Amino acid sequence: MRLSYPASVKIVKVPCTGRVDVIHILQAFEGGADGVCLVGCQEGDCHYVAGNIRARKRVEYAQTLLNEAGVGGDRLQMYNLSASDGRKFAQVAREITDRVHALGPSPLGKVSGFAFRVSGSRTDDNG
């Protein structure tokens, strides 16, 4: 189809949106993302039965945490579309990019890159 979507969108592949935890979303924002978008299968079509339903609930919770932290929950959005619907995906990518453009840069300001943490330790990259 050779569809284009904004180059500012970085894709992180997961086997199912049910794999995405709230901390992954917060880490993306701490790592410098201006917005995060979860793209899952249509509700009712989950190969793992309820992965995308759980993801939706986690997105709602993450929005609350982001609002509390002053980052803004509206920078996070979830979409449901079929894996075969490339056209819709390109449209979603443009839509989230426009939304983030309208919101402006993340209030977290300039950060150096992703910082992955485990309990009790911290590793920063210098990217």
Partner 1 sequence: MIVADRKPFDEIMGMIEPYRKILLVGCNECATVCAVGGTKEVALLASQIRMKSQVEGRHIEVDEKTLERQCDPEYACTLAGTLEDYDAVLSIACGCGIQFIAETFPERKVLPGVNTRFMGVTEKHGVWAERCQGCGNCVLDRTCGICPVTRCAKSIMNGPCGGSQDGQCELRNDIPCAWQLIIDRLKARGELDRYSEIEKPKDWSTSRDGGPRKRVREDMKL
Q: Which residues are at the interface with partner 1 (CB under 8 A)?
A: 21-23, 26-27, 29-30, 65-66, 68-71, 107-109, 117, 119-120, 122
Shortest Cβ distance from residue 92 to partner 1 (Å)? 25
Sequence-distant (≥ 6) Cβ neighbours of residue 22 within 8 angstroms? 58, 61, 62, 65
Shortest Cβ distance from residue 65 to partner 1 (Å)? 6
If the CB atoms of residues 58 and 92 are measured against partner 1, the closer one turns out to be: 58
What is the SS3 assignment for 69? coil
Alpha carbons within 13 angstroms on the beta-carbon side of residue 35 total: 23
Find out whether 71 and 108 touch, Cβ atoms under 8 Å: yes
If the CB atoms of residues 26 and 90 are measured against partner 1, the closer one turns out to be: 26
Shortest Cβ distance from residue 30 to partner 1 (Å)? 6
Sequence-distant (≥ 6) Cβ neighbours of residue 48 within 8 angstroms? 16, 18
If the CB atoms of residues 50 and 81 are measured against partner 1, the closer one turns out to be: 50
